[in-house]
Chain A
Amino acid sequence: MKKKLLILLSAVMAFSLILSACGGGDAAKPADPGTKVETPAEGENAGETPAEGELVTEGTIKATDPSKSPANATARKDTVIVGMPAPSGVFHPQYSEIAYDVYVTETIFASILQVQKDGTYAPSLGNYKVSEDKKTLTFTLEDAKFSDGKPVTAEDVAFTFTLFYDKSYDGPTDAYAYAPIVGAKDYKEGKAQSISGIKVVDPKTLEVTLETPSVLALDVFGVAGILPKHVYGAAYKPGDLSKMKDTFTKPVGAGPYKLEKFVAGQEVVFKANEHYFKGAPKVPNLIYKVTTEETNMQLVQTGDTDGETNISASLDNVEAIKSLEFADLTLNPTNGYGYIGLNHKDERFKDKKVRQALVYGLQRQEIVDGVYQGLADVVNVPQSKVSWAYTDEVNKYDYDLEKAKALLDEAGWKEGADGIREKDGKKFKITFTASTPNAVNEVLIPIAKENYAKLGIEFVPDQMDFNALQDKVKKGDFEMVFLAVGLTPNPQTAQGTLRTGGNQNDYFFSNARVDELFKLANEEFDLDKRKAYYKEIYQIANEEVAHIYLYQRRDTLTANARVKGFDVSPYKRFTFDTPVIEIQ
């Protein structure tokens, strides 16, 4: 009896082991060889219309049969429910930092400018003008009211801007670096009662004077959610913003919706703001429901949610959403990119030819396809292809083993007896710092190891926890590392990574022309002129191999076809569509 039981038990356990192996699904896992998927052939013909059965990797895949929408979703005539991971309850435009808090604040607050699909800013609650010397920005306001019915005035705007420069402000905006207002330092140090560079001209006009021209100021002032002074003023004492934190869950703004209820970890319930200056939203009730990656698709399927922002863009998920038939799926390039960082202080990487050889000799397309199954592009510049500043007039660095070898030869790295290249008696061995677990590294490491072995370079991965890796990179203690970075609508923020001594330039990349171009671009408000500057920057970054640029993957927005009007881009989030969406 006992023996039999033992055998049975071990059989059950073995079975459950198999089960658990199936359970640990990772969205970004490489496709198993058995999947029959036609990825568009590399590069050139990606622009052609996809043939039947071919993978659509961008744009909106329309619902094939909207009538299949679940009954409980269809029954909600005046409510739209959008799923997303949990906001943390920081509903204050100057403090919200994680994306889901930002979603909430963007729904409740309005800003002077609003980001467009290509990352440019357009007038919204108002507009701006730049003075001749480009140091003074004049903001003008539309006729608008807060959700409590009181008008939006220049006083409110001045109040909002002032908060950024308070001594005790600990939100994520680095206002002084982006927008150095005259008098901000004195105010911060308590030497002045107000900021001299912020001047209310009349109830609809506000003037801001900067110490030096900075186009980044728009990223602070243009998109800041305007706070009503009559509501938030009581919570503000110069030098002490501690009371402001009690207002986080009681936000009042001039945005399309007002907060009705926040249940932590569950839902954020909104009611339409009847005073919204562009006209009251068409959907009276809006709810952001907290979902997790494990079940967010099921919630769309059962009709618990009408939309979902956070389904990861894997082939399996795309197929699953298509098979629902009632859901529109938008695939957008993620607002960021993955890259391999090189330590430019490393003697070997100081030689441009070596850096170029490392790009030519790496099968980037294979790596990217291996990880994202076609739902990502190889990139060659540090900019999103949907941005107004994007350029593709750069070297594509298609895989070319011979060229890579030749470049290394030219750089003086000669193949030794063991096949490893050496120069001045030193072997070419790269230590690759990699975070684990990481889906990209899982594919990248074996391919890079093989590719670089062919070049005569020994590639040794050193894997560690992400935070440990970040610490190493911050200290400059690395040779080569894989990381990904986010992008903002304003291309100027790339100065952090590319300018000499930039805050994110942990790679010691330095190029005098790039520094100069960033300075010129930051003092220029004309888009065409700026575009030329950025183009040159991207070309230099590409030619000089500031980083080995790898990929831009995809993000999704899933929406039940009964809700019409979502028109999103990597820059223009769905929150900007909340005033115009309609239920069919």
Chain B
Amino acid sequence: MEGLSVVQANLKVYVDPSQSKNLSSAIFRELSALLFKYNDAFHGVLLAYNVHAPENKGRILPGVHPFIAVRLEAKLLVFSPKPDMLLEGKVVKVTEESIHVIVLGFSSAIITDEAIRNEFKYKTKHGQGLYVNRSNRRHVIKAGTMIRFVVKSMNEETLHIYGSLMPANTGSVKILEKFSEHMNTESVTINSTPKKRRSKEKYEVTTQITEHGSIVKDAPSQNHYDREIKKSRRS
């Protein structure tokens, strides 16, 4: 699935002096407050973080409200879907007008009937709505099916994704993968585009977390990227 990336970040966390006795939990609390929210600095939704244990050192910033500034490095798992990316999610509801999907357990997506290709026909079976592929009757999309769809747009504030099942490479993940295997086992020469190589270049984002917990992005120190694109398969 696209849209997931692991980012190495240099962070600065401002901790209230009353939390100085237990710095680690104060830092984790600050970072946890950012989870599952869209963040401009990270260009996406923070899903998880791995912080290197900070030294128990921090500079005390004097002022009317003094804070302790702690620098640390963290690996962040960020979800940043963009238009035309392929995402996977679990179908939770199928109606004649739309298919509702949950991506990664937290983000809701909707695919309206206009964005579903004509191959799929809506049917009702045992009181349950489902879409059946006209050319492959086994290709069924119903509640509980894992599907792959293309992103049309995303509302960053509400984490709501608008998707599409128009492209041919979208639909039930199980059927698509079977089809893909089937294609690979046949001796067919396919003109393939070169696979993306995993880049080992580094991308550092120097960010600051302000005293109110919001992230302010500094100018990147280097213009390199280290992206590890992870395929996440929902179980």
Are A and B genuine complex partners?
A: no
- Which residues of A does B touch, CB under 8 Å? none
